[in-house]
């Protein structure tokens, strides 16, 4: 796997261009600032889309290095399973989600993000009824039961989720809404991984318990941490289910 998360050194006035997945970036070190512009392939000359506008960030006099870092989506994601799964009481289901990554440009000295752009264009979706619910990104690749079936792209991370049906009722699961905020990113041998998530479903009216892991849960080599979580790990979350318990929102109301 080719690592695109790297540190770049700029000379005064130097401009660098490159691609990370579908994203093309151009970064220039100006006299007292950094200038960034991003566009996705095939979108640059569309009249209906906003043209890539440059953003600038003030730079220290001695600051000539930037670091590329992968990050997870800044909003919840909705993922479908390949087919609706019937999970009997006291049974587990392990599945893997392909999470698109963001390119974060940070200053190496203090790790502050100067720019953050998705490497893959994601579509918006809504989770829940039209009058209540949440805005999320739709993941087009359904969750798989084998991680080998996920696309091995450097701009995607494997996200292992184990769901236990601890209720007394059969759970028919079609899709989930998940918050990637509390997940870490690790470098594996074959792909980037997120930390794992355990979900204990205890019924439509009961609190669902979540357990966010802190390590790579698959035998993919002990990799270094690429990114700490965006958000702190929640201690307690409320479950909402929609459509007769077919859609599970583990983020709470």
Where on the chain is the footprint of other proteins (CB under 8 A)?
Answer: 46-49, 78, 121-127, 130-131, 133, 135, 138
Burial class (CB in 10 A: 0-12, 13-18, 19+), 66: buried
We find the least distance from the C-beta atom of residue 112 to other proteins, in angstroms, to be 25
We find the least distance from the C-beta atom of residue 120 to other proteins, in angstroms, to be 11
Nearer to other proteins, 57 or 81 (CB): 81
Nearer to other proteins, 103 or 247 (CB): 247
Q: 242 with 129: CB under 8 angstroms?
A: yes
User: What Å distances lie between residue 145 and 86, 90, 98, 137, CA to CA?
Assistant: 14, 18, 11, 21
Mode of pairing for the β-strands spanning 92-100 and 102-106? unpaired
Nearer to other proteins, 138 or 141 (CB): 138
Q: 57 with 66: CB under 8 angstroms?
A: no
We find the least distance from the C-beta atom of residue 124 to other proteins, in angstroms, to be 5
Long-range contacts made by residues 41-44, C-beta under 8 angstroms, separation at least 24? Answer: 43/121
SS3 177: strand
Nearer to other proteins, 30 or 75 (CB): 75
Nearer to other proteins, 83 or 123 (CB): 123
We find the least distance from the C-beta atom of residue 100 to other proteins, in angstroms, to be 12
- The closest alpha carbon to 192, from 214, 224, 231, belongs to 224
We find the least distance from the C-beta atom of residue 13 to other proteins, in angstroms, to be 35
Token representation of residue 160: 């292992």
> Please, which residues bridge with residue 192 across strands?
157, 187
Token representation of residue 142: 């359904």
d(CA 107, CA 64): 9
We find the least distance from the C-beta atom of residue 77 to other proteins, in angstroms, to be 11
d(CA 33, CA 121): 28
Nearer to other proteins, 48 or 168 (CB): 48
We find the least distance from the C-beta atom of residue 145 to other proteins, in angstroms, to be 22
Nearer to other proteins, 206 or 231 (CB): 231
d(CA 253, CA 251): 7
């Amino acid at each position: 796997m080719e690592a695109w998360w790297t540190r770049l050194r700029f000379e005064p006035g130097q401009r660098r261009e490159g691609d990370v997945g579908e994203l093309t970036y151009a970064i220039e070190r100006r006299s007292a600032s950094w200038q960034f512009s991003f566009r996705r392939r095939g979108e640059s000359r569309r009249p209906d889309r906003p043209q890539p506008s440059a953003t600038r960030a003030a730079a220290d006099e001695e600051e000539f290095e930037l670091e590329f870092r992968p990050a997870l989506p800044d909003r919840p994601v909705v993922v479908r399973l390949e087919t609706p799964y019937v999970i009997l009481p006291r049974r587990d289901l392990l599945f893997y989600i392909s999470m698109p990554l963001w390119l974060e440009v940070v200053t190496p000295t203090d790790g502050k993000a100067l720019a953050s752009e998705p490497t893959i264009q994601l579509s918006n979706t809504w989770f829940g009824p039209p009058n209540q619910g949440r805005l999320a990104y739709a993941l087009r690749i359904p969750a798989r039961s084998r991680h080998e079936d996920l696309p091995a792209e450097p701009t995607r991370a494997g996200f292992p989720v184990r769901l236990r049906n601890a209720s007394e009722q059969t759970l028919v699961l079609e899709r989930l809404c998940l918050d990637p905020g509390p997940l870490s990113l690790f470098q594996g041998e074959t792909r980037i991984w997120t930390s794992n998530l355990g979900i204990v479903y205890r019924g439509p009216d009961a609190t669902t318990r979540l357990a966010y892991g802190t390590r790579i849960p698959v035998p993919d080599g002990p990799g270094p941490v690429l990114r700490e979580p965006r958000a702190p790990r929640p201690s307690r979350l409320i479950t909402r289910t929609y459509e007769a318990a077919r859609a599970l929102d583990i983020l709470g109301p």
